A = this chain, B = another copy of it.
């Protein structure tokens, strides 16, 4: 049973290989769209430093220096794994490669030979200043591949557009998995809601979440000590901070969580707000703040659709918050969710330096985003909500019912 528990946090192998096959199929279309005829994932010891895209197109770890080479020629995609001899059996067993080539002493010669023969027009590599999940190539590995493929160095280009489309365009299986993670998150919220009492500390409440996760055999979407964040009362800055052992739930105060679970490798990321007291006791100030956050999510959800740009969606919510008299929130309105809680690619964010060009990315069908923001009240701290949506042909759909008002606990 323990084994089962632990493995349910990961994608079961058969499902994982199925997703990889779906992604390989998408890749043919994407590489054509982008007019890139060669993409190389160049990695080593991925247990120590994983390249985030490998879980979607390679599946599992490799030890020795390896090159996973996707080449497009005459509308046909060829997929080759060039790996250390000890990794050959593993790669062949996956049945996702057209060719598996092993080497013993060094990758240089077979790698150079293979690329010389193909002689591609472009070579996309996994580096990106803007998008974390497209930046899996380390600088040391970049130096090595620059040396091996020195004759082709001018062809090097960032693979970020390939990776963003590949991660962003969720398959049916992927949407189903994120939705299921959201449903389990909702279930945990409901279970916790019935157990919480005035006087409990943030630390105690977080422990309850962890117990519920273990019961349902799921793991945290991000680092456990801040998943969930638990913010009781008005005195805490909202952030990725751990719970306070002396932060207690009190009557007349709010309670806020930022929480997500991972099931079969796919994440949820949802925030909820509680109020301790009767519904009619909620102060006007809190209601106004809640309606502002809720309203901003509503207009963003009504606006978003394939073809709009990330920063346009953020702006409509941000302007709304400012109009309603609050300070603007200090982060992006929404990020993508997938195998990572922050799944990279197009971001619904403002054009701030730290987001680089990412908010200029296009929203596409089947992308899954969070819609999240907070406003600060004078006397009651922050009010913050977060929902998960999937972009449809015409607009978007909430993956699970959204929060419509404070959940009250007496």
Contact = CB atoms under 8 A, between A and B. Distances in A.
Contacts of A49: 49-52, 132, 135-136
A34 interface: no
B133 A140 contact: no
Interface residues of A, number: 76
How many copies the complex holds: the figure is 2
A258 B139 CA distance: 32
A87 B240 contact: yes
Interface in A86-132: 86-90, 93, 104-108, 125, 127-132
B239 A3 contact: no
Contacts of A210: 3
Contacts of A224: 7
A340 B44 CA distance: 14
A360 interface: no
A408 to B, nearest CB: 28
B106 A129 contact: no
Contacts of A15: none
A5 interface: yes
A106 B2 contact: no
Interface string A320-356: 0000000000110000000011101000000011100
Interface of A: 2-3, 5-7, 13, 44-45, 47-52, 60-61, 63-65, 84-90, 93, 104-108, 125, 127-144, 207, 210-211, 214, 219, 222-226, 237-242, 330-331, 340-342, 344, 352-354
Given A64-B354, A86-B239, A106-B353, 19 more contacts: A2-B5, A2-B214, A6-B6, A7-B224, A45-B133, A45-B342, A47-B340, A47-B341, A48-B52, A48-B133, A48-B340, A49-B51, A49-B135, A49-B136, A89-B241, A90-B240, A106-B352, A129-B144, A134-B140
24 contacts: A2-B5, A3-B214, A7-B224, A44-B132, A47-B223, A48-B52, A48-B340, A49-B136, A63-B342, A85-B330, A86-B239, A86-B240, A86-B331, A89-B237, A90-B226, A105-B352, A106-B353, A127-B138, A127-B143, A135-B139, A137-B139, A138-B139, A139-B139, A139-B141
